[in-house]
Amino acid sequence: MAEEEDIKYFVRVSNTDLVGTKSVIVSLTGIKGVGRHTAATIASLAGVDKHALMGKLGEADVDKIREIVADYTNRVPIWMTNRPKDVYTGEKRHIFANDIMLTRDDDINILKKIRCYRGIRHETGQKVRGQRTKSTGRTGLTVGVRRKTTQ
């Protein structure tokens, strides 16, 4: 009973509340931009058992995880980042948490601004990646089949 009381149910890492009752590898996937492979890499770089419960880790271990997440880009090769060549700086970056949505919106706005094909498709609300549009993705007045009227 005493062991259950010293579990932290929420651990704060990278502006995200992580579940303390799950293992480190599963709990880290709660951060946007972190999948299972990235979570395993973060746990191994921090020297933490990836199968231990996140809430039972000591404060020093959690601080190591926070430090690794903050400096993840510099510690891994370029192919392990989710943005190998940034549009603005040309450097490798790994984007976490709320920055993912902001970066995605900025990228779409750039496409709209330069008036490329993908940007125009985003503006008009049509499919962007070459999917079929004749029969699927129909909204509004385009739904249904219109028959020719013969008089």
Is the residue at 94 inside a domain?
A: no
104-128: burial string, b at 16+ Cβ within 10 Å, e else? eeeeeeebeeeeeeebebbeeeeee
Q: Tell me how far apart the alpha carbons of residues 151 and 49 are, in angstroms, rounded to a whole number.
A: 78
Domain region containing 47 = 2-80
Q: Residue 15: left (phi > 0), alpha (psi -120 to 50), or beta?
A: left
pLDDT at residue 143, rounded to an integer: 65
Evaluate whether residue 146 is within a structural domain: no
Q: Which two tokens stand for residue 129?
A: 């990646």
Asked whether residue 32 is domain-assigned, the answer is yes
**How confident is the model over 10-37, as pLDDT tens digits?**
999 988 999 999 999 999 999 999 999 9
- pLDDT, residue 54, reads 93
Contact at 8 Å (CB) between 121 and 128? yes
State pTM to two decimals.
0.77
3 CB-contact burial (10 Å; exposed 0-12 / middle 13-18 / buried 19+)? exposed
Tens of pLDDT, residues 41-98:
999 999 999 999 999 999 999 999 999 999 999 999 999 999 999 888 999 999 998 9
Q: Could you tell me if residue 99 is inside a domain?
A: no
Q: Which residues contact 107 (CB under 8 A, 6 or more apart)?
A: 87
Token look-up 């009973």 returns 1
Number of structural domains found in the chain: 1
Burial of 88 from C-beta contacts in 10 A (0-12 / 13-18 / 19+): exposed
Q: What is the CATH classification number for the domain harbouring 35?
A: 1.10.8.50
| Residue at 107 is within a domain | no
DSSP state of 90: -
- pLDDT digit string, tens, across residues 89-146: 999 999 998 999 999 999 999 999 999 999 999 999 999 999 998 888 877 776 666 6
pLDDT of 2 > 50? The answer is: no
